Amino acid sequence: MTVTGIVGNFNGKQLSIRNLGDVSGGGPCDVNDPNADCDGDGVLNGQDCAPENPAIYPGAACDDGDPNTVNDQYDENCVCKGGASGGGFKQDFESQTSNEDIVLSGWDNVAVKGNRRWLAKYFSGDSNTYAQATAFGNTAPADMECWLVTPVFDTDQAADFSLRTAMQEWRHDGLTIWVTTNYTGDPTTTSWQQVTGLNLAGQSSENHEWIDSGTVNLKSYGKNLRIGFKYVGTQAANTTSYRIDDVWVR
């Protein structure tokens, strides 16, 4: 932008515009410029489904209108598509907005104690968005319990489960993983079975270090399953931040 004006000295330097014709540039962002980022979401217009709307871009969550599909997302052609509810899935949380509650088609994010839920977080060190739960900070509830529950899947079609986990400032083991065949919509009234055999981040892990869980076959737990990621903590002492990413059932 260029400006032509009159410089004066009245209680300090002042710049006065003669008329609007002396100002050029600085106009509204051109949504047709493929190299601009008009909605400020970090996605260039040329790769954005709607350059004026930061919530619409390839990989963003959407609703295809079909109740029989889950994990609906805009594809590379900006068409909203979902996957079959019975098959497997892979969730990397890249469609989520940092510092906002996780919201995904077919998933449930529930605060059982306190008001905190699983939150999307972005770590610039590895350009990665993930899901995080934590009781850290003076605004945390005295007691905290929150659940992130996956869509249902048929273990006859997909039963091998894996993910990555990380933690920050270990104070307690706050993350456990469960499965159920009868999710009621309320984790406290659902019958859960704890999943064992996974390698999760914990006391011996480095801060921010991503740990591969290894693969566990879930078929023995039942046929139509949902996975529940349970975090518990307290503001006073049990404040470890836990992160999950690349949740994969195949």
Cβ of 41: how many Cβ atoms within 10 Å?
17
| Domain extent at residue 144 | 86-249
Question: Domain with 184 in it: what CATH number?
Answer: 2.60.120.200
Report the C-alpha gap between 181 and 216 in whole angstroms: 17
pLDDT exceeds 60 at position 3: no
Specify the range with the lowest mean pLDDT, choosing from 18-32, 76-90, 197-211. Answer: 18-32
Burial of 54 (0-12, 13-18, 19+ CB in 10 A): middle
Would 12 be classed as within a structural domain?
A: no
56 in any annotated domain: no
pLDDT-derived band at 219 (thresholds 50, 70, 90) equals very high
What integer best gives the mean pLDDT of the chain?
88
Percentage above 90 pLDDT, the chain: 64
The residue-averaged pLDDT of 160-171 equals 96
Q: Does the pTM of the predicted model rise above 0.85? A: no
The DSSP result for 56-94, as a single string, is -STT-B---S-TTEEEEEE-TTS-EEEEESSS-EEE--T
CB-CB neighbours of 186 under 10 Å:
11
Domain assignment present for 25: no
Residue 98 lies in a domain: yes
In a domain, 158, yes or no: yes
40-76 pLDDT, tens digit per residue, is 888 888 889 999 998 888 877 788 877 666 667 888 7
Share of the chain above pLDDT 70, in %: 85
The pLDDT score that the predictor gives to residue 63 is 82
Residue at 19 is within a domain: no
Q: Is the residue at 97 inside a domain?
A: yes
Asked whether residue 20 is assigned to any structural domain, the reply reads: no
Work out how many domains the chain is built from and give that number.
1
